[in-house]
């Protein structure tokens, strides 16, 4: 029983770490000189230029759910 509880705790900590990494990490999508993530879209031609990616309603809801999931996981 103790081994099962330890396995569940390890699994939950692993999921929490992956949640933090997936929210914070940049470059979810890389396509040549264009990179995109949850927070901004960047192009790296002759000049590195970034725009916020929160113009879509579905992306704003994903951002909100990621932040809420981190808050509720910590609580």
Write the DSSP symbol of residue 58.
H
> Rg (Cα) of the chain, in Å, rounded?
17
Query: Considering the chain, what percentage of its residues have pLDDT values greater than 70?
Result: 91
Q: What is the pLDDT of residues 32-64, one digit of tens each?
A: 777 777 777 788 777 777 777 666 787 788 888
Rounded to 5°, angle at Cα 52 from 51 and 58: 135
- Domain boundaries of the chain, sorted by first residue: 28-52
2 vs 61: which has the higher pLDDT: 2
Per the DSSP assignment, residues forming a β-bridge with 36 are 29, 41
What are phi and psi for residue 64, nearest 5 degrees?
-65, -40
Question: What does pTM read for this prediction?
Answer: 0.58
What's residue 31's pLDDT?
A: 79
Whether the pLDDT of residue 19 is over 90: the answer is: no
Among 26, 51, 54, 28, which Cα is nearest to 41's? 51
């Amino acid at each position: 029983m103790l081994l099962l509880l330890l396995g569940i705790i390890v699994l939950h900590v692993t999921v929490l770490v992956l949640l933090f990494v997936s929210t914070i990490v940049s470059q979810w999508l890389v396509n040549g000189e264009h990179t995109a993530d949850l927070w901004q879209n960047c192009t790296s031609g002759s000049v590195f230029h970034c725009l916020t990616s929160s113009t879509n309603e579905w992306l704003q809801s994903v951002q909100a759910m990621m932040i809420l999931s981190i808050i509720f996981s910590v609580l």
